[in-house]
Amino acid sequence: MTTTAFQLGLPLATLALLAGAAHAQTTAGPFYVEASIGMSHFNGDYAKQVRDSVANSTVFKFASASYDSCGNLGGRVALGWRALPNLAFELGSTEFGRIDSRASVSRLQAPEQLDVIKGKFRLDAITLDAVGMLPVTDKFTAIARVGVARTEQKYSQTRTVTNEAVPVFTSYPANQQTRLHWGVGAQYALNANVALVANYERIENVGHDFSSRPIDKGSRAGTFGYGLMSVGMRYTF
């Protein structure tokens, strides 16, 4: 869904921005396009989710759990309509990158045998936001946004069991949800049409808490919050 939108939208938006920068006008209309790229980060009580999922299990016992909280490349593209001098509405596509996770549980009947699950989460989102703009100087504007996101979390895992030679890879159907989307940012106008932008955006509570079920079925892989810090350009038509 959103991966395609982002991958198609980014080069198109970049071309529009470059063309706009080369042919900037002296006045700006109400519509704009924006493209940015940056680094994503994640947060969640993943170890607690794994521990709680096997607390009453008659098969498994918690061993360890961890995930990479930052360091992934992400980006966004957006089309905006400035309805009022200080208010705009944006339709955007954001790619938040990938989380690598690792969960280990032991067998109660065979403590020396570990089930190790290495997971990969990817999150894309289509967003619809109201964007408030507060001019600080003639060129510098502070931005705040709030809206809704339609998220698509994709999950795959590789399961390895002690003394079993072949790891088992499984890719599961995407999980879609509707979540609150918010962010803050700033823009610096280079001229009437072109501006540099910096944004931070977040979506909380994406996914479902880990259950021991993913060891076999992958239906509840983990809940995380996703954030993206990005920089880019905006062109106002």
**DSSP string computed for 78-103:** EEEEEEETTEEEEEEEEEEEEEEEEE
For residue 17 the two structure tokens come to: 């921005």
Please check whether residue 145 is in contact with residue 185, taking contact to mean a CB–CB distance below 8 angstroms. yes
Whether 74 shows a pLDDT value over 70: the answer reads yes
Please check whether residue 33 is in contact with residue 126, taking contact to mean a CB–CB distance below 8 angstroms. no
Nearest Cα neighbor of 35 from 3, 72, 75, 1 is 75
| Confidence label for 57 from pLDDT (cuts 50, 70 and 90) | confident
The model's pLDDT over 193-223, given as tens digits with 9 standing for 90+, comes to 999 999 999 999 999 888 766 555 555 788 9
The pLDDT assigned to 6 comes to: 54
d(CA 198, CA 47): 33
Please check whether residue 136 is in contact with residue 233, taking contact to mean a CB–CB distance below 8 angstroms. no
The pLDDT assigned to 86 comes to: 96
Whether 7 shows a pLDDT value over 90: the answer reads no
Please check whether residue 46 is in contact with residue 9, taking contact to mean a CB–CB distance below 8 angstroms. no
DSSP state of 132: E
Longest Cα–Cα distance of the chain, Å, equals 75
Which residues, at least 6 apart from 159, have a Cβ–Cβ distance to it below 8 Å? 115, 116, 117, 118, 167, 168, 169, 170, 215
Task: Say which CATH number the domain at 83 has.
Answer: 2.40.160.20
The model's pLDDT over 101-124, given as tens digits with 9 standing for 90+, comes to 999 998 888 877 888 999 999 999
The model's pLDDT over 45-56, given as tens digits with 9 standing for 90+, comes to 999 999 998 888
Q: Exposed e or buried b for every residue in 173-185, given b needs 16+ CB within 10 A?
A: ebbeeebebbbeb
The pLDDT assigned to 184 comes to: 98
**Percent of the chain whose pLDDT exceeds 90:** 62
The pLDDT assigned to 4 comes to: 46
d(CA 13, CA 38): 16
Task: Give me the amino acid identity at 75.
Answer: G
Residue 74 CB coordination number (10 Å): 24
Average pLDDT rounded to a whole number, residues 84-103: 95
Whether 87 shows a pLDDT value over 70: the answer reads yes
In the chain the first and final C-alpha atoms are separated, in Å, by 27
Per the structure, the count of domains in the chain is 1
Nearest Cα neighbor of 154 from 119, 192, 116 is 119
**Four-point Cα dihedral 80, 82, 83, 85, nearest 10:** 160
Q: Output the pTM of the full model.
A: 0.84
Provide the residue range defining the domain that includes 158.
2-21+30-236
